[in-house]
Structure 1
């Protein structure tokens, strides 16, 4: 009896832990975009859709954001996603802790961006003097994150977007078709994704008085803690679901 119940209980525990980790990463993504938009010259580094629209507005001669900032952010995001596909894929092939490694690299990049901001501009905000190099580093890190989330493939928790999660949640709540009902765990994850992004945005906004550099270093520290716990705690080693080739 004990062996029969141990399996489901262990699986449930891993599900809860996985949800907690991905929720933390969602909050961090919201915080990164809040810090980027509010202290780095009204540019997103995680929300590629926002940068694409800003770029379109700038090309059309409208809006207050020049072409360079969204262009650099979007290019860096693209390169980060491509690098993640190559580097993380090789780590996965070697059966190493790919999830922790990807998060550690992300944390290192965010720390580099924070240190660069402090070194080049002091402890203040970069809103009045946007630094495209800092923007590019953060954008690259978020591109890497996008690949990490895609490879983890946790339903309803992309960590960086809420549109699909929000629509799926609303569809499940208002649909009268029983077959369309989402499992309880998936529904909880959809809610957490939406709420987590909001919470991250609030926290990021509250961090803006710290200045761009310090805020990025704080976010990098949390990401590094998550990566470390994944390796240190044995029961977290089975967090990631099936890997995407």
Structure 2
């Protein structure tokens, strides 16, 4: 987050909120399997192997593969549009929006597997929005790194460094948590049809990113 202007930091928080929203819907739908938090899925995958729960483990393995496929597709798209940061971000967000739209259509048609596949691909794809030198510079769908940076920045502040450098990372974490709360409430009210809300938000972000100020 440090090194980005406030507008791009706000975009990152909004995208983290979107990830939390979708992840909560996926978690409830799949009975405890995440569609964006792959560290948690990896632990569940390992425990499933140890327990011999092969059907459950197979579902998690499929989610892990789909997430990586989403990252790969968006990574290719980001490389092809890397000549311009606006174009790259808007192209990746257009892909995320298209996948969430496909997930919403799956929910509308009562095709839950299609909805799950598409939302998992979308969550993988979202991680290519912020890139520097071909690497992810802001993780949007998982918060372990953000929490570590909060701790490091607080430690630096206590030792006389910048006092508030931890706040952007806290905002990123809070965005995901807040989004997850909203996603759980939306699922309670609308079921999988809550994905239409995520699709609309993603589309709005894809459009708005074209108008954000970028440093030279």
Q: Shorter chain as normaliser: what TM range?
A: 0.7 to 0.9
Distance in 2 between residues matched to 1:75 and 1:45, nearest whole Å: 11
Of 102, 110, 115, the residue aligned with 2:105 is 115
Q: Does 1:238 align with 2:211?
A: no
Counterpart contact for 2:7–2:213, Cα < 8 Å: no
- 2:119 corresponding residue in structure 1: 138
Report how far residue 237 of structure 1 moved.
Answer: 5.0
Q: How many residues align?
A: 211
Is this contact kept in 1: 2:36–2:123, CA < 8 A?
Answer: yes
Q: Secondary structure at the match of 1:45?
A: coil
Structure 2 Cα separation of the partners of residues 102 and 173 of structure 1: 33
| Structure 1 equivalent of residue 38 of structure 2 | 48
Is the 2:89–2:130 contact (alpha carbons within 8 Å) kept by the matching residues of 1? no
- How many angstroms apart in 2 are the aligned matches of 1:196 and 1:95? 23
**Structure 1: tracts of 5 or more residues without a match:** 1-13, 122-130
Q: With the length of structure 2 as denominator, give the TM-score of the two structures.
A: 0.85
Q: Is the 8 A contact 2:103 2:115 kept in 1?
A: yes
Matched, 1:35 2:25: yes
Structure 2 gaps of 5+ residues are none
Contact 2:69–2:124 (8 Å) recurs in 1: yes
Partner of 1:160: 141
User: Which entry has the higher C-alpha Rg, 1 or 2?
Assistant: 1
Aligned equivalent of 2:175, options 196, 213, 224 = 196
Q: 1:49 to 1:88 in 2, by over 3 A?
A: same
Asked if the contact 1:69–1:135 (Cα under 8 Å) also holds between the matched residues in 2, the reply is no
The CA RMSD over aligned residues, in Å, is 2.7
TM-score (norm 1): 0.76
* Residues 150/92 of structure 1: CA separation in 2 closer, same or farther (3 Å cut): closer
Deviation at 1:58, TM superposition (A): 1.9
